Amino acid sequence: MSDLKVLRLVKKSEGDPPEKAFMAEAVAKPEPQPAAAPAIKPVAAPPPIKPVPARGDQQQRQQQRQQQRQQQSQRHRQQQKPQPKLTLSPEQMLKIFRTMYLSRRLDDKEIQMKGQNRIFFQISGAGHEAILVAAGLCLKPGYDWFYPYYRDRALCLQLGMTPLEQLLQSVGAAADPASHGRQMPSHWGHKKLNIVSQSSPTGTQLLQAVGCAEAGYRVKLIKELKKLVEGFHNDEVVYVSLGDGTTSEGEFWEALNTACNLKLPVLFLLEDNGYAISVPVEVQTAGGDVSRLIEGFPNLYRQRCDGTDPIESLAVMRRAVDHCRKGRGPSFVHAKVIRPYSHSLSDDEKLYRCEAERVSDAEHDPVKRFGALLVHEGIASQEELQQLKDEVDREINEAADIALASPQPAPETALEFIYSPTVDPTSPEFDTEDRVELSGKPGTMVDLINRCLHTEMKRDPRIVAFGEDIADCSREELLDQVKGKGGVFKVTANLQREFGSARVFNSPLAEANIVGRAIGMATRGLKPVVEIQFFDYIWPAYHQIRNELALLRWRSGNEFSAPLVMRVPIGGYLKGGAIYHSQSGVSIFTQIPGLRVVYPSNALDANGLLRTSIRCDDPVLFLEHKHLYRQAYNKSPYPSDDFMIPFGKAKTVREGTDLSIITYGALVQRSVVAAKQAEQQGISVEVIDLRTMNPYDWNAIAESVKKTSRVIVAHEDTMSWGYGAEIAARISNELFECLDAPVRRVAALDCFVAYAPQLEDAILPQAADVAKAIVELRQY
């Protein structure tokens, strides 16, 4: 057999080919040419499921489905060309089986430990082992990047994660490398192996994986980045996996769209076990086959395989990875697998799966089938295979004993890593306000934000800016012929002209796409400054913001983070903004641990706070009130390029002795107007501008309240459950003895903002409302 070519896997073997090798037909097509779009490859038709007794329509539908599967399989076989041989040595075959068996037995061990109440959750990767080991063999740990989902135990083992490391997560040990006891089991993460921390929401990892790959794409385009960021390789691949149910998520389609549009090296692995908990694939997907639905995506290399067959899976994965590694665009592998166990130990599949179907799954068990194949082909005897199994079982039992004896995180560590432990944006390092030097003609808030973006992008080549309409002109050849867009409010005007389209570019009209991609880029060391065009449309991105961006550092125990800035125009007082251009739901975001929320009221503060936001090491929601963008009263000359205002530092806009107003945003000026009116009645009012909402300056609030003994909290958000409720509650709780009157709030009505100007004025708090509250509280 000296003429056989041994498949080189992760490490190239040395010497002559082995005397005995197993050969199988590879299902992958010959390597595609760049100009030709490769066809989807077929899955071998599985043995038909034995039908349960059925009558009438039910039996007829089963027969029709079976006939359709057979016809489809026949069509694919007719289209298939002769395939190359794939050769593996006996040693390689045994290693594959060992990892598959190890994965299965770890699942079984966790199930046993859950039954003993020694762990608290279990979700298995059973039935998915073959395709995942194949994927791990074709990819490079610590070189490529990985965004797995909860079934990917075997992949992580193949990449180098140890049984002990996986069991440390099961028991919630502090030494767990994935999360240090903060995530439930099977939520993979490993800094050394480039396995990025995984969360529970299905599909959120897809856009992040695209952003991760896009970071490498941007590094190739931006020369300055090559010296500033580390860990990028010209042929790196980003792996991301998902179940068939996840293809129903919109972010799946958004991820495919961007990956194909930019020809990014993303390997999408669909592990199709036919069920999303209890919902079968034909209910999830039109036609029951997502591969048929994605045929129109350009630059996408599509393949299918029997994911329970490691040899077939290995051939397909090798082709898919090569396609990505050679820069030809993304690959999509549709692997048909089984789910022999319930969705998780919280689920009972017997409630919705018939006996015949579960028996059929058992007959296709990849671990049992591959073990039988090894014996049949003479790769190993039954006794040798049993010795291997006994060795794996001993390894798992020893690892379980160590894991169970490992300490859990100390209670006092709960608040660690909510924010960056090394960069503190509230520190004096970020405070240059007292020595600010101003020059030039006064500019509006738009002008000074734009200036800050220009100076910071010049200072730091890692900054990339993108969002809807933020570029001057996506068609670069037209830049000399047009004035340029630069955002609907012109805040990003001329950024693309100065820094190029590799750093300033438009995104699809998809808010989750913007934030999800930014998370992936930030994880790789870039500094995205993205724009959500209107606060009113931020909600599609809320999933990414709440469950991913703000949580990444904490849930990984500081192994991963995503420092970025989201600029968001917000607020009403527009005369025509109406319901969907006037929202002010600040409190929805200030309650999220891990997210900084900033809200300047004037041009100078906007400049200094944005610079701090960009230079800090946490995710920041930077809110820009649309009504304040071009107001003459908040203009300012330009500060120097190092001007910064720290977070958590309020500003006393107006000194007073009789009453304090705690406010922010558009209510600052309205409060100043009301305070001047009250002064004519002999009432001295102090106005405090918070400037940052999370963190906020409690010391400034306390000092003012202690001085005046009366306080109004004024905000544009609704009265009920608005941001001011937290401030008012804390004042009442901690400063009660300092008060001479109840804490008063001035806020919007508990409804949405209307289009008619007179109605809008009645809904939003006005200076007259603040003035009335001042008089009434002073008279209390």
CA distance 149 to 153: 9
Query: Crossing angle for the helix pair 250-261 and 511-523, nearest 10 degrees?
Result: 60
DSSP letter at 771 equals H
CA distance 398 to 389: 14
CA distance 420 to 594: 9
Read off the amino acid at residue 445.
M
CA distance 228 to 527: 12
Q: Is the dihedral of CA 483, 484, 490, 493 positive or negative?
A: negative
Contact by Cβ (8 Å): 503, 458: no
DSSP 708-751: HS-EEEEEEEESTT-THHHHHHHHHHHSGGG-SS--EEEEE-SS
- Helices (H) then strands (E): counts for the chain: 25, 23
Within 10 angstroms of residue 246's Cβ, the number of other Cβ atoms is: 22
Q: Catalytic residue, from 581, 625, 627, 715: name it.
A: 581
Sequence-ordered alpha helix ranges (H) in 326-365: 355-363
Is there a catalytic annotation at residue 581? yes
Cβ neighbours of residue 423 closer than 8 Å, sequence gap 6 or more: 616, 617, 618
Q: Of the candidates 773, 626, 622, which has an alpha carbon nearest to the alpha carbon of residue 692?
A: 622
428 preceded by a cis bond (ω within 30 of 0):
no
424 sits in the region (left: phi over 0; alpha: psi -120 to 50; else beta) called beta
Contact by Cβ (8 Å): 601, 665: yes
Q: Of the candidates 593, 609, 679, which has an alpha carbon nearest to the alpha carbon of residue 650?
A: 609
CA distance 342 to 768: 62
Contact by Cβ (8 Å): 665, 483: no
Phi, psi at residue 484, to the nearest 5°?
Answer: 105, 145
Distances (CA, A) of 487 to 473, 494, 531, 624: 10, 10, 9, 13
Which residues are catalytic, by number? 581
